[in-house]
Amino acid sequence: MGFGKGQVLYYAIKADYDALMEITIHDLRFMKKRIILKIHGEVQGVFFRVQAKKRADELGLVGWVRNEPDGTVRIVAENGEDELKKLIEWCYNIPSARVEKIDVERGKATGEFEEFAIKY
């Protein structure tokens, strides 16, 4: 017993759709980026890490934030380019801190994080 014309067309379309979805999911994984920020200024003792986590969660970022021994704050974050840019812009406008400059390193996302955390 063979397939009717409608069944053949359905399976051809479904196979194309499944292949397209696999490609799209693969491409999205590689579109994610990573930034490593070193934030200079009065950024410790002003609840910067707590506020950074809240903002990262709002933007759907994964990674971490921590105070560094040299008085800076380091953030490692991953997601899409737009969300990462919004995080950098936000860092310059946090009311409780005085950010003098931000060193930014960019790279490909590693996918090693499941959430955004505060490191101590």
pLDDT in tens, 56-97: 999 999 999 999 999 999 999 999 999 999 999 999 998 889
pLDDT of 30 higher than 90: no
Q: Specify whether 64 is located in the same domain as 105.
A: yes
Range in 11-15, 46-50, 77-81 the model is least confident about = 11-15
Q: Specify whether 20 is located in the same domain as 76.
A: no
Q: Specify whether 18 is located in the same domain as 54.
A: no
Q: Specify whether 27 is located in the same domain as 44.
A: no
Burial tier of 89 (Cβ tally within 10 Å: 0-12, 13-18, 19+): exposed
Quote the pTM value. 0.76
- The active-site residue, picked from 34, 49, 55, 79, is 49
CB 77 within 8 A of CB 61: yes
The Cα-based distances of 113 to 5, 47, 110 in angstroms read 47, 23, 8
Q: Is 49 a catalytic residue?
A: yes
Q: Residue 99's domain is classified under what CATH number? A: 3.30.70.100
Q: Specify whether 48 is located in the same domain as 11.
A: no
Q: Specify whether 74 is located in the same domain as 16.
A: no
- The active-site residue, picked from 34, 55, 67, 93, is 67
Q: Specify whether 27 is located in the same domain as 65.
A: no
| Rounded average pLDDT over 95-113 | 93
Q: Which domain holds residue 76?
A: 32-118
Half-sphere exposure of 21 (CA within 13 A, CB side): 6
- Number of domains comprising the chain: 2
Q: Is 67 a catalytic residue?
A: yes
Q: Specify whether 18 is located in the same domain as 45.
A: no
